[in-house]
Amino acid sequence: MRIGWFDRNIKWVFSLPVVLFVLVMMAFPIGYTIRMSFLDWNMSSVKPPEWIGFGNYMHLLSNERFWHTVQITVYFTLSALVIETILGVVVALFFSRQFRGKNAAKTLLILPMVATPVAIALVWMLIFEPTIGLANIALKSVGLPPQVWLGLPSQVIPSLVLIDVWHATPMIAIIVIAGLTTLPADPYESASIDGASAWQKLIYITLPLIRPTILIAALLRLIELLKQFDIIYATTQGGPHYASETLNIYGYILAFQHFKLGAASSLIILFFLLVLSLTIVVTWTRKRLGGDAA
């Protein structure tokens, strides 16, 4: 029986709508943003867009405020990522044990993930309120002086990290819990026969086996932290004195407050390349570690 053209290419025919959707919804916006990044386009001026090549990129890379936002972004991202990963693994290991009320505790664990970022920001603004906020009330109850929290440049990033840790640690914990449920029982049985302690099982069996899972959770959280916008903008809008102005906040200010679409587009492209590079590095590291573990 002769096979027709449609039957020979049926996999391409059915995948074509998905390919077209990706091109329209992803490739076109990225391509248009790249084009805008080469233009001097200020919507607050009647001057038409002018092609300036890499002028926006050169201006950004020589701009002290841009490098300040890079430092703030790295500081916030790495601080939150390290704390959330460690706490997430600890919480996951705690929930791997059997104890009374485990299901209720799991329900409470995921509650921070249910709320929207803006709602979380508003609640934590009330908690960090310098005069009547619960945070300072708690400090006073143990004899510590009250803090300004979100209103002081030296305290704003640690305060934002605390908010994000409360909000996102459950996500890492849930991913690691899923990884723990797939671990084989044979290594633990052999270790028990050899007289290994619970701590030795954790260090030499559990953690090496769930290392790829931890890296996946950390990669997902890394990308989300780099893209963090809602909580920071709703609480501080990049202040005080640019102390919490990340790349996302700076890009928003350039585009929608200063109306410099060309400069904002070049910043977004640089930011996209940064996220892509970090994703490739972490993915490559995970493959190397996964291969070594195997």
Q: Domains of the chain (ranges plus CATH)?
A: 65-293 (1.10.3720.10)
Task: Measure the CA–CA gap between 233 and 206, rounded to whole angstroms.
Answer: 39
Please, what are the averages of pLDDT over each run of 10 residues along the chain (294 residues)? 70 84 85 94 84 94 94 96 96 89 86 90 94 93 93 95 95 93 90 90 92 90 92 94 94 93 94 87 75 45
pLDDT score for 293: 44
Q: Is 116 exposed, middle or buried (0-12, 13-18, 19+ CB in 10 A)?
A: exposed
pLDDT score for 292: 47
pLDDT score for 85: 96
pLDDT score for 100: 85
Torsion sign over Cα 122, 148, 236, 138: negative
Q: Are 130 and 146 in contact (CB under 8 A)?
A: yes
pLDDT score for 170: 94
Residue type for 211, please? R
Q: What is the pTM assigned to this prediction?
A: 0.88
List residues bridging with 42 in a β-sheet. 260
Answer left, alpha or beta for residue 241, where phi above 0 means left and psi between -120 and 50 means alpha. left
Q: Are 246 and 73 in contact (CB under 8 A)?
A: yes
pLDDT score for 15: 86
pLDDT score for 145: 92
Task: Measure the CA–CA gap between 160 and 126, rounded to whole angstroms.
Answer: 13
Q: Are 215 and 181 in contact (CB under 8 A)?
A: no
pLDDT score for 69: 95
Task: Measure the CA–CA gap between 122 and 163, rounded to whole angstroms.
Answer: 11
What is the token pair recorded at 12?
């391409």
- Residue 40's SS3 state is strand
Task: Measure the CA–CA gap between 207 and 213, rounded to whole angstroms.
Answer: 10
Task: Measure the CA–CA gap between 125 and 133, rounded to whole angstroms.
Answer: 8
Strands, E assignment, 11-170 = 39-40, 50-51
Task: Measure the CA–CA gap between 257 and 18, rounded to whole angstroms.
Answer: 36
pLDDT score for 89: 96
List residues bridging with 52 in a β-sheet. none
Distant-in-sequence, close-in-space partners of 129: CB < 8 Å, separation ≥ 6: 136
The dihedrals phi and psi of 227, each to the nearest 5 degrees, come to -90, 0
Task: Measure the CA–CA gap between 220 and 277, rounded to whole angstroms.
Answer: 14
Answer left, alpha or beta for residue 240, where phi above 0 means left and psi between -120 and 50 means alpha. beta
pLDDT score for 2: 62
